[in-house]
């Protein structure tokens, strides 16, 4: 038996390793020796997993925690933070260290417990009315001081408008390396963090390491796996008192867009419509289908240009780059510009009239047919039970 896992760069969600052994993305499994396994390892599709002892947190090394910056807005923890806690837990098991979340807020009101329930062993908590809204200088000083005092080995932030403002500022202040917008984090044989990030809009992936401590990354929302909410998990809360200076910038107002902004990047399922829908009103069936399975609605550039749907729904080179669990392309031919924005989705389903449409080349499941018939049939198949 060999303990193996599917390489992150492997394009499909599963691989057949012979004798009925199928290895899926994200799982680590013991597979008996076979020709298929040997070949898959040689081709780099599959890698031999590092032996990880199930770690119970009792023998944690000291002074080398993994930290998660727990961004909050309106006293609500951002979803990406919970994903980061899941990622940090996976890293912590390889390193045998504790995961700590750092939260700056006005009042705790259960936030620490939430962080513990989702994977933090420890929460560093600072409460102050002046920490209510994110301010670059106030937050930079607070986190930099804490990092200098407690010396975590890794600090991760969500690659949000807050994280990408804060993390570079901290990296410069404490003179350590930072990698932006990571989509995969791992630990190598030297116990160092290996950070994979897209460059050139996702056409190239780069693996980056850091020579200094702490190793810091911002991590793209929506790619890391959140752990289930475990209300019985135990953890400690360390209250910290900060010296807070007056911020040099002043937030006068925060304005929410009237319409809920489409959040394609954070969505687990995206259903996109293209020219094959024939006319604007047919987008309604896409919307209905999307609401039934909790998906966001995406679109090709062609239909955005036609004015069938707003620009913030556009997926592709000039729109959003997405990587959901499931992407359903409806009546989209799959030009390279569109594929650039969605080809890293975990699973792709394509529906198109033209059997030679480019989109089928990257689809896990393809249906040749008229979207205007197939989508109502799918809706019926869901409702029909």
149-188 positions binding another protein, by CB under 8 A: 160-161, 164-165, 167-169, 171-173, 175-181
CB 81 within 8 A of CB 70: yes
Report, in Å, the least distance between residue 32 CB and another protein: 24
Q: How is residue 284 written in tokens?
A: 């309604």
Judged by CB, which is closer to another protein: 29, or 173? 173
User: How far is C-alpha 314 from the geometric centre of its chain's CA atoms?
Assistant: 19
Kindly state whether residue 189 participates in binding another protein, applying the rule CB under 8 A: no
Where in 100-159 is the site for another protein (CB under 8 A)?
136-137, 140
Write out 266-328 in H/E/C secondary structure.
Answer: HCCEEEEECHHHCCHHHHHHHHHHHHHCCCEEEECHHHHHHCCCCHHHEECCCCECCCCCEEE
**Distance of closest approach, residue 70 Cβ to another protein, in angstroms:** 17
Residues 6+ apart with CB under 8 A from 381: none
Q: Write the interaction track for another protein spanning residues 11-30; mark x where CB under 8 A is met and - where it is not.
A: xx------------------
Separation between Cα atoms, residue 91 and residue 38, nearest integer Å: 27
Does 209 interact with another protein (rule: CB under 8 A)?
Answer: yes
Nearer to another protein, 286 or 374 (CB): 374
Looking at beta carbons only, is 80 or 120 nearer to another protein? 80
Q: Residue 136, CB half-sphere, CA atoms under 13 Å: how many?
A: 12
**51 touches another protein (CB under 8 A):** no
Q: Is there a contact between 286 and 308 (Cβ–Cβ < 8 Å)?
A: no
Among the listed ranges 52-60, 81-89, 98-106, 204-212, the one in contact with another protein (CB under 8 A) is: 204-212
Rounded to whole angstroms, how far apart are CA atoms 169 and 66? Answer: 19
> Which residue of 48, 199, 245, 278 would you call a contact of another protein, by CB under 8 A?
199
Structure tokens at 247: 């911020």
Q: Residues 340, 313: contact at Cβ < 8 Å? A: no
Tell me: does residue 356 bind another protein (CB under 8 A). Answer: no
Name residues contacting another protein, limited to 311-350 (CB under 8 A).
317, 325-326, 336, 339-340, 343-344, 347-349
Q: What is the helix (H) or strand (E) element at residue 237, kind and residue range?
A: strand 236-239
Please state, in angstroms and rounded to a whole number, the distance separating the CA atoms of residues 73 and 94.
31
Residue 207 is a binding residue for another protein (CB under 8 A): yes
User: Counting contacts by CB under 8 A, is residue 227 touching another protein?
Assistant: no
Residues with Cβ within 8 Å of residue 307, at least 6 apart in sequence: 280
Distance of closest approach, residue 233 Cβ to another protein, in angstroms: 23
Counting residues that bind another protein (by CB under 8 A) gives 86
Choice between 227 and 237, CB closer to another protein: 227
Based on the shown chain and the rule CB under 8 A, indicate whether residue 1 belongs to the binding site for another protein: no
* CB 89, min distance to another protein, A: 21
């Amino acid at each position: 038996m060999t303990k193996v896992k599917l390489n992150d760069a492997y394009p499909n969600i599963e691989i057949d390793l012979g004798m009925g052994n199928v290895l899926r993305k994200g799982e680590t499994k013991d597979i008996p020796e076979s020709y298929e396994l040997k070949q898959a390892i040689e081709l780099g599709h599959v890698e031999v997993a590092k032996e990880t002892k199930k770690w119970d947190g009792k023998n944690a090394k000291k002074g080398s925690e993994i930290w998660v910056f727990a961004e909050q807005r309106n006293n609500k923890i951002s979803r990406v933070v919970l994903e980061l806690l899941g990622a940090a837990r996976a890293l912590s098991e390889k390193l045998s260290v504790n995961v700590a979340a750092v939260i700056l807020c006005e009042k705790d009101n259960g936030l620490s417990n939430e962080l513990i329930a989702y994977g933090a062993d420890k929460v560093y908590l600072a409460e102050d009315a002046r920490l209510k809204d994110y301010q670059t200088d106030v937050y930079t000083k607070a986190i930099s001081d804490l990092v200098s005092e407690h010396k975590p080995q890794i600090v991760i932030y969500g690659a949000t408008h807050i994280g990408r403002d804060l993390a570079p500022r901290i990296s410069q202040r404490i003179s350590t390396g930072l990698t932006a917008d990571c989509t995969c984090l791992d630990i190598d044989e030297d116990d160092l963090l290996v950070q994979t990030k897209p460059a050139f809009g996702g056409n190239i992936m780069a693996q980056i390491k850091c020579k200094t401590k702490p190793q810091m990354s911002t991590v793209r929302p929506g790619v890391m796996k959140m752990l289930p909410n475990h209300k019985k998990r135990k953890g400690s809360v360390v209250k910290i008192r900060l010296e807070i200076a007056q911020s040099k910038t002043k937030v006068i107002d925060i304005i929410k867009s009237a319409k809920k902004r489409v959040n394609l990047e954070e969505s687990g399922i995206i259903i996109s419509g293209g020219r094959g829908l024939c006319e604007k009103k047919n987008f309604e069936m896409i919307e209905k289908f999307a609401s039934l399975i909790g998906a966001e609605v995406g679109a090709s550039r062609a239909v955005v240009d036609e004015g069938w749907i707003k620009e913030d729904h556009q997926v592709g080179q000039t729109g959003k780059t997405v990587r959901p669990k499931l992407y359903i392309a409806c009546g989209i031919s799959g030009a390279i510009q569109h594929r650039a924005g969605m080809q890293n989705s975990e699973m792709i389903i394509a529906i198109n009239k033209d059997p030679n449409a480019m989109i089928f080349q990257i689809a896990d499941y393809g249906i040749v047919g008229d979207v205007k018939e197939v989508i109502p049939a799918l809706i019926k198949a869901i409702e029909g039970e």
